[in-house]
Amino acid sequence: MSPLDRPEGEPTAPVRPAVTGIDPRGPRFSASVTAVLVTVVLLLGDTTAGLVGLAVVGLLFLTGVVRGPAGSLTGIVFRRWVLRHLAPTREREDPRPPRFAQVVGLTISAAGVGLGLLGVAHAVPIAASLALVASFLNAAFGYCLGCEMYLLGRRLVTRP
């Protein structure tokens, strides 16, 4: 029966979309890797090695921005080597908020690298500290700051 054939006043049945999206454990795994890497950057401090480490973190964020969370380097590692050791889940999440979170991480790490190259004191450790806070919250508690920023921005844009 098409919507045109249904009797007046009879509600249409909601169409259930196919299960799509990403496994929410993938971004948490990526956040765990990021937390470890930026901790190393913090330990290296304002050195050339710290600057290179933050650049590597930025490149990981860049792959997440360009290819999406599932296509990032850590997303591929998660799917190929970690996921097989986890129980299956039907839970899925929209990949857009985690992708936006990757943009935020890329912006912070790029700013730290750029300012570090310009000789701004403590730029690298400050950027690494910001990335550590965000990645730790996601890894430990499943709270994604960048995702929340995305959702807030969507609400502000779509307000009547």
Do residues 48 and 56 touch, judged by C-beta distance below 8 A? no
- Structure tokens given for 25: 């454990």
**Chain centre distance of CA 72:** 10
> In a structure prediction context, what are the per-residue pLDDT tens digits for the chain, which is 160 residues long?
444 444 555 555 555 555 589 999 999 999 999 999 999 999 999 999 999 999 999 999 999 999 999 999 999 999 999 999 999 999 999 999 999 999 999 999 999 999 999 999 999 999 999 999 999 999 999 999 999 999 999 999 998 7
Tell me the residue type at 9: G
Q: What pLDDT does 4 receive?
A: 46
Quick: pLDDT tens for 20-49.
899 999 999 999 999 999 999 999 999 999
| pTM given for the model | 0.85
Contact 78, 25 (CB under 8 A): yes
Q: For residue 15, what pLDDT is reported?
A: 52
Single-letter amino acid code for the residue at 38: V
Tokens of 61: 């964020």
